[in-house]
A and B are shown apart, each in its own frame.
Chain A
Amino acid sequence: MEEKTRTSYTEYKPEEISEFKIKDEKYSVIGKSVPKMDGRVKVTGQAKYTGDLKFPNMLVGKILHSPYAHAKILSIDTSAAEKLPGVKAVITHKDVPSLKYGISPARWDENIFCIDKVRYVGDKVAAVAAIDEDTVYKALKLIKVEYEELPAVFDPIEAMKEGAPQVHDEYPGNINTEIHQNFGDVEQAFKDAYYVRTDRFVGNRTYHAPIEPHSAISIWEDGKLTVYCSTQSPHYFQYYIAREFGMKMGDVRVLKTFVGGGFGGKLEPTALEFAGAVLARMTGRPVKMFYDRAEMFTHNRGRHKVVMEITTGVDKNGKILGVHANFVQDGGAYTSLGIATAYYAGAMLTLTYDFVNYKFDMTRVYTNLPACGAQRGHGAPQPRYAFECHLDHVAEHLGIDPIELRLRNARRPNTITPNEFGVQSCEMKACLEKAREISGWQDKKGKLPKGRGIGIATGSFVTGAGYPIYRTDLPHASAMIKVHEDGTAATLYTGATDIGQGSDTILCQMAAEAMGFTYDNMKIVTADTETTPHDFGAYASRQTLMSGSAVKQAGEEVKAQVLEMASVLMEVDVDNLDCRDAVVYCKSNPEIRKTFGEVARTFFVKRGPLVGRGVYAPPKLGGKFKGAPVGTSPAYSFAAQISEVEIDEETGEINVKEVWDVHDCGMVINPALLHAQVHGALYMGMGETVWEEVVFDNKGKLLNGNLGEYRMPTSLDMPKIVSELVESSEPAGPWGVKEVGEGATIPTMGCFSNAIYDAMGVRVSSLPLSYEKVWRALKEKREKEGIQK
């Protein structure tokens, strides 16, 4: 039996290099659609998410949420819950630190549990840990909370009015953030303009809805807290958990397991981590906390609804002279990452078109609804939707083709935006031209049959934020590569966080390329604050460029050591050596060669661990005005999207026929993953444009916290997608890379809205463009035309 088992494995043989041939290709590992690192374990179910993990003696914890949108807490009686057999701890605000937290340092406004009052339906009141799920749910029902209901406010415009209910006493008028930025002279630009136009648009509250619900397991061992969780950034979790409990960061270890999507919603620690840590300490046992689907919706931190008024002045040829963006955001009950969202909303409008006069006014307002935060495209997609729809009206008025208008204003490489973002690579013009060509725009625009329409929009996004979320001089990314002692494998250690987007895969490709090694023999350990070097994590589309820079440096350090060792072994000058596909060879005579493995093994025997290190910090970026850091980035992606739709004029039903996305995202490390990101971003943007909206009743209670009534598109709703690229290389990125993951969401709402407008001849100026809204707009249009006749 034993014999048989053993022979079922193939015996490892040292690598033969006879087949090695120096290929003409510039790169041996990057630029290729290698299989995803975690593909096999995910499809076979071997991959374990936090919710799958079990520890000996582990308890289950749940949070008790407020049933009221705004109410005073008069009393909390936990005695009955405590007496229930199986309950190990019940906690309220009395048992936890009262220090306020939040992910935006400028507005820490959230408590682990509410102290005096609750601020939205779903606010956190208490928590229970018990031996199993059944007991936890029973115990939650036994906690008696006496409330005194207060008047509540659910609309941001209402919330700003005199006499409106106050969500936080510390923020009078419910003003959470107020921004007034003014670049150049917008008033003068409007005076000089041939045509000035103002339009108003309203966005929608949407939610990320990742497939994996949030989950956290907290374990205390000898004064040290370990948290396994579903996170986009172990670092920020570690920082804020340590801060909340007054601990040294070194005593808090945060580990990411496999994560089933984040999209911005898993960037900040939640009550699952905070309450879980307290419950675990009180009971001395591991505690697993989790949200169910409805609780995910109430925790939210999704897209802000923005009320957008936008004014543009243009000359006769459609050249933009000045833009004024005047926005109000519904922030919900807490800040979350909302200050950055508020700044991003205006900051990112200056990227795709070149103009010098720009004014941005914004008020982010508290309401008694779940808190909003960052969602794919962070703050930018709705304002971009407003701007792109608005520009189509401008083009229409001037009688200029919408693509032509955009081409006349398209940003060029090596320019600076009015809000002082330095743009190096920029193929905006090429994206527009290619999109026009592959979509057959010229044969379609204005020539489609009744009920059909085609629309265009552009977008741009940061490739990593220029500054971290809280003030620190830590580098943004770091990495370490350790080559296995026998030279057969190499492990990349990095804090970079794969949440499904594929960063593990592309970082291993980059490591192998830089080392002169092979992808197949790369291993990776990531996102564990104790074993992996620091990285800020997965947000702001930063990892390919920032983590990638650190990985490249680490790989090059390994390679340099291998070549130096090989030089001694082969008695060839080090400058005459190179390494590729795990073969070290003599450049002047490639027949003289050794395997990487052999050289690496010798290195370990003679000198000890073969390790490479890398670190990345962006240069100092941006201007000096208030809010200048938000939107700065070492590089920006650019995109043009065109969509073609068909409208059922009787029902308002929207049928998306085809979408074309053309991206300038620099050098591509893994084309398959890149196009998958475009598909995913489009899917999300399309859902937010037509189908998705979180809806509440007049008491602030969520009406569609489930995947049946919160209608994300299904596979049957997806159109044909054509994802194309333009030639581009970014000087600030390793091998010339830039972002794609969020950028592809930015143009989508505008491009669909413009196509729908083209099909209908009337504008629905609020999101989502639901069938009923389209039906109503068409009905009103017919009635109006009837009257005119």
Chain B
Amino acid sequence: MYLPDFEYYAPTSLWEACGLLAQFGPRVKVIAGGTDVLPKMKQDILAPEVLVSLKNLSQLTDIFYKKGKGMVIGARATHNNLVNSPALQEKYLSICEAAHHMANNQIRNTGTVGGNIVNAVPSADLPPILIALGAVVKLFGTDGERTVLLEEFFTGPGKTVLKQNEILTEIVIPDQSFTGSTYIKFGLRRSGALAVVGVAVAVSMQGDICKEARIVLGAVAPVPMRAKKAEELLKGKAVTQELLEEIGVCAAGESKPISDIRGSAEYRKDMVRVFTKRALSKAIKEGHC
């Protein structure tokens, strides 16, 4: 395990960064926290000749609420920046909690939210809750800037709509009508474990009637997926334990897991059932977004 040779740039502007991406084409890789790129290079899975670090783009770490726009999370914010952000703690505690249960403290101090998204690992912890809250990502490139719904960002394991010369700069969570949200990660130990199943939900409750719901599943399909049939099933109904059980079964049916070292497809499907039920129950009960 050693890091092969590479050229290294740490540009001070986004323009410069994107220029480097355009210049080096497929030979370049963007690096933020490095918790994924560097191990992959050591293991010979990635072999970029050039690394462009975002470390000098400090504006990308800000997390703030802007009226009319929503909650803005800089792509280079670390997982612990998310955990400790007063703005997120006030408005979206579920995001803080999702970040808090990622990996271990050392990784949380280094790894970034943008990295967690662009890596497009099916088991990633942040995309499900961000999708549940309708997050939009801003992509900056030499051809200009565009925004994409996070739900439409992923195209397959390790694959996204991000173009070669683009950099993900921020995540925006629009103001919304959901009354509660949560993310539950099911891993095989209490720290330092990848999700076997991750379930994020957002619900809009009026009394005990669920007016609207989003259910997003991680680690059970090539990309984070919405369980839309289950969402429909919940919509407009009075929530009972039996209904939640039924919705869990429905979501499990929608999931398309594979078997791997962390669990069989059969087990994962049943865990979708269990954790969809539990996540909905928690989001309805606790109420915060």
- Chain A residue with the shortest CB-CB distance to B44: A141
Number of interface residues of B (CB under 8 A): 20
Report Cα–Cα, A651/B274, bound state, in Å.
Answer: 8
Does B24 make an interface contact (CB < 8 A)? Answer: no
A137 to B2 CA separation, bound complex (whole angstroms): 7
Beta-carbon contacts under 8 Å, A714-767 to B: 714-717
Give 27 A-B contacts (CB < 8 Å), ordered by A residue.
A134-B2, A137-B2, A292-B1, A293-B1, A651-B271, A651-B274, A691-B188, A691-B189, A695-B261, A703-B261, A707-B192, A708-B193, A709-B262, A711-B188, A711-B189, A711-B192, A713-B189, A714-B191, A715-B191, A716-B190, A716-B191, A717-B189, A771-B188, A772-B264, A772-B267, A775-B270, A776-B267
- B186 an interface residue at 8 Å Cβ cutoff? yes
- Chain A residues engaging chain B, CB cutoff 8 angstroms: 133-134, 137, 292-294, 650-651, 691, 695, 703-704, 707-709, 711, 713-717, 770-772, 775-776, 779
Chain A residues lying within 8 Å of B267, measured Cβ to Cβ, are: 772, 775-776
| Contact residue among B104, B188, B193, B271 (Cβ-Cβ distance under 8 Å from A770) | B188
Please measure, in the bound complex, the distance between the C-alpha atom of A691 and the C-alpha atom of B262, giving whole angstroms.
Answer: 11
Docked Cα-Cα span, A715 to B104, in Å, equals 11
Cβ of B5 and Cβ of A717 under 8 Å apart? no
Which residues of B line the A interface, CB within 8 A?
A: 1-2, 5, 104, 186, 188-194, 261-264, 267, 270-271, 274
- Give the residue of B104, B190, B262 whose beta carbon is less than 8 angstroms from that of A717: B190
A-B residue pairs, 8 tightest by C-beta: A716-B190, A714-B191, A292-B1, A137-B2, A650-B274, A772-B267, A716-B191, A711-B189
Query: Known: A650-B274, A691-B188, A714-B191. Is A709-B261 also a contact (CB below 8 A)?
Result: yes
Which among B104, B186, B189 has the highest number of chain A CB atoms within 10 Å?
B189
Contacts of B263 in A (CB 8 A): 772
**B contacts with A: majority SS:** loop
A772 vs B192: C-alpha distance when bound (angstroms): 18
Shortest CB distance B203–A (Å): 21
| In contact, B192 and A708 (Cβ under 8 angstroms) | yes
Cβ–Cβ < 8 Å partners of B194 in chain A: 708
Q: Which residue of B lies closest to A704 (CB)?
A: B261
CA distance A704 to B267 in the complex (A): 20
Which residue of chain B has the shortest Cβ distance to A295 in the bound complex?
A: B1
CA distance A203 to B152 in the complex (A): 46
CA distance A421 to B73 in the complex (A): 68
- Which residues of chain B are near A775, meaning CB under 8 Å? 267, 270
- For residue B264, which residues in chain A have a CB less than 8 angstroms away from its CB? 772
Please indicate the chain B residues that have their CB under 8 angstroms from the CB of A707 in the complex: 192
A714 and B261 form a contact (CB under 8 A): no
Distance (whole angstroms) from the CB of A752 to the closest CB of chain B: 15
CA distance A650 to B192 in the complex (A): 22
Residue among A293, A714, A779 with the highest chain B CB neighbour number at 10 A: A714
The docked-state distance in angstroms from the alpha carbon of A455 to that of B274 is 28
Assuming A134-B2, A717-B191, what are 16 further A-B pairs, CB within 8 angstroms? A133-B2, A137-B2, A651-B271, A691-B188, A703-B261, A708-B192, A711-B188, A711-B189, A714-B189, A716-B189, A716-B191, A717-B189, A772-B263, A772-B264, A776-B267, A779-B270
Residues of B within 8 A of A703 (CB): 261
Q: Give Cα distance in the complex from A9 to B261, angstroms.
A: 59
Cβ–Cβ < 8 Å partners of A137 in chain B: 2
Minimal Cβ-Cβ distance residue in B for A653: B186
| CB of A779, distance to nearest CB on chain B (Å) | 8
A714 x B192 contact (CB < 8 A): yes
